[in-house]
Amino acid sequence: MKNIVILISGRGSNMEAVVRAAQAQQWPARIAAVISNRSDAAGLAFAASHGIATAIVPNKDYSTRAEFDAALQIVIDGYAPDLVVLAGFMRILTPQFVEHYAGRMLNIHPSLLPMFPGLATHAQAIAAGVAEHGATVHFVTAELDHGPMVAQAAVPLLPGDTVETLSARVLEQEHELYPRAIRWFIEDRLRIVQGQVQVNHTHI
Ligand code: GRF
């Protein structure tokens, strides 16, 4: 049984999709904890109502990024994670923290990386007039929204799209994509070879 720790900052709809998939598909894994840097993260209530341990490590209580990350790491490691899942966790992480979880920390970013790293990805996609937009699951490395890519999902940009309509279309895909990628990790199907992810699709 592998332990998954999920980090959120807000709504937590991706966390919810992962929890539901893990339960429905009976993953050989348990969601050991959901941890937030904000006490008002809406997703905490969903986790608690599903019997999942929750913890809050408020970043505002720490004066430096290094101190916050060190405190967060202690709480995460208390749950002995095999995998740390960033699900709308709105923090820039220190290289030390990222290194500690090298090869066992995933993020979902709402763009077809390497296009549009950072914030306001949907507005950027609309402004650029791209034909397709989407989401990417990747291993976390020290450089923001970089790191070996595990899976991507694309959606069309439609005439008249707004940030709201486009983000909703992408989010629907995220809720399929992230559980699928996490399941691959749990089933030991992912290998990073020379900075590139290889997915083993054969029956294990
Ligand atoms: C998602 O769009 C995700 O790709 C990005 O932040 C958003 C989080 O949404 N990293 P939610 O909290 O999972 O609902």
The verdict on 42 and 16 lying in the same domain is yes
How far is C-alpha 202 from the chain's CA centre? 25
Q: How far is the CA of 120 from the centre of ligand 1 (A)?
A: 12
The verdict on 86 and 111 lying in the same domain is no
The verdict on 89 and 126 lying in the same domain is no
Give the helix ranges, DSSP H, for the chain: 13-24, 43-49, 65-77, 95-100, 121-128, 163-186
Token code pair at residue 104: 């066992």
The verdict on 4 and 74 lying in the same domain is yes
The verdict on 3 and 21 lying in the same domain is yes
pLDDT tens per residue, the chain (204 residues)? 999 999 999 999 999 999 999 999 999 999 999 999 999 999 999 999 999 999 999 999 999 999 999 999 999 999 999 999 999 999 999 999 999 999 999 999 999 999 999 999 999 999 999 999 999 999 999 988 899 999 999 999 999 999 999 999 999 999 999 999 999 999 999 999 999 999 999 876
Stated pTM of the model: 0.97
Number of structural domains in the chain: 2
The verdict on 15 and 49 lying in the same domain is yes
Structural domain of residue 65, as residue ranges? 1-101
Ligand 1 pocket check: which of 108, 119, 136 to mutate, most ligand atoms within 8 Å of Cβ? Answer: 108
φ and ψ at residue 87, rounded to 5 degrees: -130, 85
